[in-house]
Structure 1
Amino acid sequence: MPHPPDVAPEPYLDAMARRYSCRTCDKTPISAADRHALESAIGKRRVGPFGTQARFQLLAATPEDSGALKGLGTYGFVRNPAGFLLGATGRGPRSLEDFGYLMEGCILDATILGIGTCWLGGTFTRSRFAEKLALGDEEMPAVVAVGYPAAKRGWIDRLIRRGDSADRRMPWEKLFFDGDAAVALSRDAAGKLTQAIEMVRRAPSASNCQPWRIVKQGSFYDFHLLRTPGYRERNKTLFGIADMQRVDMGIAMCHLELGARELGLTGRWIERSEQDRTSFPGAEYTVSFEIADGLTNHVVVRA
């Protein structure tokens, strides 16, 4: 997927490395130029790899928006956001993965423009945000707070990052594997894709759980969802939050595909048959990315 034409051609890989959950913004509104560029970019992100249609809109913040964030625990702690990125997705078996993939693309577009972002996971389908987006038979699994980062991070940023270890990520050998779950993927084996895989490691995820496990088999990179025990049930009960670990899988997919494209590697998303694909103990298979010359399919194909 190339850079949307209104977004400066800074490498997405650099944007992935720079992006962080910005919970303290200054009070400056998004400039007209940046707003136009971001709206143009997000308007082009309409269909995810699994074929789910989505739409995104950038709205300025209002005093009433804080009410829509109540009850989300730390998810709702953002100071002085200039606005919100809202997204609506159709319903389907892989709609949450598609939502994560597309929204993370919007976030990287914002990062390139120097706009800070913060994922806010929750159930917003009946919220004021849903009213603003005129939600039909769609769902809104998350919203993203946006704004120019404050010169100094506030106590909220420091407290939350200390509490959820947001500055830390799992080591490479706990996430990426070669052939099966018993063999860690070496950087030599990853070859030209190494930098993109590293950006998957550094991708954001709900509570920094990093639920993806990727197993390389030849030219295929199989994505498996290893759920955090009790995470989905606890957050649904306490906060009404959607199945964010499926959204996380879409975020990881976005990082791998955009990173691969930027490294000059072509590929496609494919659902491999059970007899052909790898497995991972205790995990659910999601999809595979196949690296090969001439393959440029954005939408998942089935083997």
Structure 2
Amino acid sequence: MENNSLFEAIYKRCSVRKYKNEPLAHGLLKQIEELTHSMPQLDPTISMKVHLVQDGYKIQNISRGIVGSYGKISAPHYLVVTSEEKPWFMENIGFSLEYLILKLTTLNLGTCWIGGFIKKSLLKDIIEIPENHIPVIVISFGYPLNPEEFKSRNLSYNLSEEIEPDPDKYYDSTTKLVAATKRKEINEIVCGKLDETWLSIMDAVRHAPSAINSQPWRFYKEGNLFHLYGVKRLKIAQTLEHINKIDLGIALCHLVAAAQLKGKKLELKASENVERKGLNYFITVIEK
């Protein structure tokens, strides 16, 4: 039942930038705080912490110091994520926090990923950051000012044919970003033939959020293997490439949630000798 609700949340979730100016009930905040302690992680050895900031004005007062924010978002509550810096720590945050965001969506709460590269000094009077942690990302949450934002989007993949795209079209990192409401087609993010079940799973991946809607994930299918990559950016866009690591974790969260609903058993592992031009290898998903 949980996987079904998370799958539905994928099509219901959207980035909410305007919230009702009312705090959540204490019981609900307590439930959310408990959820922050039970999220799955890609790598449980990575020390990560989700700090619940109940007084939203404290984050609003430092919003100018959050690089890459969508202007000033005034929400009643925020989550501040801190982590130690280790391989996969950004992807780990994306995977874990998107799971939490989907859970919040099932509670009819709006959320929005906000920026990155937060100065530790700005947060010293707001949260207690572990000594070996850095602040990574902020997430706003609360009741949407406009509940109509939560209209579920229709599935949009074509089940009439299998997909085998031209992989060469993926390598251009200078391609213009599409509008925020647009999503790439499945044949723009997956190389390899997909049956109806995997088309459904990849459509869930296609709806994953990403920084400035850059949609950096690319999958290459080889038998029962799906190699996941991120798009390499030009030197002037290295900051985006760094933040896109969170996006890869988000996409993987969508894939796992959708695959579990479809009865798929998956294994995640790092593979060797799978490098591709213009792409950064992340992880391999194995269908067992």
TM range (shorter): 0.7 to 0.9
Of stretches 138-147 and 59-68 in structure 1, the one that deviates more from structure 2 is 59-68
Q: Deviations over 1:209-256 (max 9, x none)?
A: 011101111111100111343464466xxxxxx920111111111111
**3-state SS, counterpart of residue 57 of structure 1:** strand
2:62 is paired with a residue whose SS is helix
Match of 2:80 among 86, 98, 104: 86
2:286 pairs with 1:287 = no
Equivalent in the alignment of 1:229: 234
Per-residue deviation, residues 148-187 of structure 1 (Å, max 9, x unmatched): 0012789xxxxxxxx9711001111111111xxxxxx4xx
TM-score by length of 1: 0.77
Map of 1:148 onto structure 2: 143
* Compared CA separation, residues 192 and 15, structure 1 to 2 (3 A): same
- C-alpha separation between the residues in 1 aligned to 2:221 and 2:40? 29
**What pairs with 1:104-123 in structure 2 (closer than 5 Å)?**
104-123=98-117
Establish whether residue 246 from structure 1 lines up as the match of residue 245 from structure 2: yes
CA 1:31–1:227 in structure 2 vs 1: closer, same or farther (change >3 Å)?
farther
In 2, are the aligned partners of 1:48 and 1:102 still within 8 Å (CA)?
yes
Mapped partners of 2:181, 2:16: distance in 1: 13
2:196, 2:178 → 1: CA distance?
32
2-structure distance, mates of 1:10, 1:190: 20
Whole-angstrom distance in 1 between the partners of 2:34 and 2:239: 37
Give the structure 2 partner of residue 258 of structure 1. 257
Kindly state the Cα deviation for residue 67 of structure 1 after the two structures are TM-superposed.
3.2
Aligned counterparts, 1:174-213, within 5 A: 174-178=188-192, 185=193, 189-213=194-218
Partner of 1:215: 220
Q: What secondary structure does 1:284 align onto?
A: strand
CA deviation after TM superposition for structure 1 residue 123, in Å:
1.3
Query: 2:201–2:259: 8 Å Cα contact kept in structure 1?
Result: yes
Show structure 1 runs of 5+ residues with no match: 4-8, 155-162, 179-184, 236-241, 293-303
Q: Give the root-mean-square deviation of aligned CA atoms.
A: 2.6
1:46, 1:53 within 8 Å by CA — same for their partners in 2?
no
Are the aligned partners of 2:269 and 2:283 in contact in 1 as well (CA < 8 Å)? Answer: yes
Partner Cα separation in structure 2 for residue 36 and residue 176 of structure 1: 40
Q: Contact 1:124–1:130 at 8 Å: present in 2 too?
A: no
List per-residue Cα deviations over 1:127-146 (Å, max 9, x = no partner): 44455331121122211011
Structure 1 Cα separation of the partners of residues 236 and 87 of structure 2: 20
Q: Deviations over 1:6-60 (max 9, x none)?
A: xxx7521110111111000011211233223222222112633474231213221
Distance 2:236 2:109 in 1: 30
Are the structure 2 counterparts of residues 129 and 113 from structure 1 closer, same or farther at C-alpha, using a change threshold of 3 Å? farther
Tell me, in whole angstroms, the C-alpha distance in 1 between the residues paired with 2:234 and 2:148. Answer: 32
The CA distance in 2 between the partners of 1:78 and 1:31, in whole Å, is: 24
Alignment match, 2:134: 139
Distance 1:196 1:130 in 2: 41
Aligned length: 260
User: Alpha-carbon deviation of 1:71?
Assistant: 4.7
Is 1:25 matched up with 2:30? no
**Structure 1 SS opposite 2:203:** helix
- Calculate percent identity across the aligned residue pairs: 21
CA pair 42-63 structure 1, distance change in 2 beyond 3 A: closer
Secondary structure (helix, strand or coil) at the match of 1:286 reads: strand
Equivalent residue letter for 1:177: C
SS in 2 for 1:11: helix
Deviation at 1:75, TM superposition (A): 1.4
Structure 2's unaligned 5+ residue stretches are: 150-176
Quote the Cα distance in structure 1 between the aligned partners of 2:112 and 2:221.
31
Name the CA distance, whole Å, in 2 between partners of 1:211 and 1:12: 22
Secondary structure at 1:48's aligned position in 2?
coil
- Cα separation, 1, equivalents of 2:106 and 2:257: 14
* Separation of aligned partners in 2, 1:131 and 1:219: 49
Bigger mean CA deviation after superposition, 78-87 or 204-213: 78-87
One-letter amino acid of the structure 1 residue matched with residue 6 of structure 2: Y
Number of the residue aligned with 2:166: none
> Partner amino acid for 1:282?
G
